[in-house]
Structure 1
Amino acid sequence: MTITRKALVTAAAALMAAGACTAADTESEGSASCAGLVTYDSRGYLPTEKSVFTVGERLGTATIEECDDTPNDSGDGVPESRTGAYRIEGVDPAEGIAVGDSAADAAPMAVHR
């Protein structure tokens, strides 16, 4: 299944809304945001801007990590959740995967080093 840029933007927005948190401007404080961090097979992945990719077979289940990178905010952050992990054709899963509730809405993620 080939994903278009429009579908990617929609999927990425849905993924971020469902399983990530937004960060205040913390870069000036030297803090990193946890927004978008997903783990699969003991590796961390972050969203990538890859615009065209083909989703392959389902690999298993990925974990969208708990995120509360704005502790002074009145919200409680985002709790840990699960989503599908999919192979991206032509990409070693140790380098990148696609995540989403289905292959049709999967967004690309690159390994975080």
Structure 2
Amino acid sequence: MEYVYKTLEKEISALIEETLLCDTVERKSELTGNKGLLEHAIKLLKKCDEHGVYAGSIFTKLPRKRCDSPSSEYRVIEDGETDDPQYWREVTIEGKQFNCVRLGEGDVVIEC
């Protein structure tokens, strides 16, 4: 991925140089917007690298809730190798607010 990061950084540098030489507000605005898009792309790529998300990862968008309750949510559970919900345990994650994963309709789950 280093090649990709270097390529994007070179393009950002070129946009900065072009912005300094530009004489119209519209063009400067366009170049600045493009620079922001590239910076955003680099941050996303680094986050994907950090978490092992690659092109082959599976993305699943959660469906609409079937429950009418406004506070209903999806939870991540460990099933204890059984289909009996009494043995299921909600997954806890250190450093996460409330130490659990709570998801809503439209959230995306990524399988790495």
Larger Rg: 2
More strand by share: 1
More helix by share: 2
Same fold (TM over 0.5): no
Quickly name the TM-score band, shorter chain normalised.
under 0.3
* TM-score between both structures, scaled by the size of structure 2: 0.22
* TM-score between both structures, scaled by the size of structure 1: 0.21
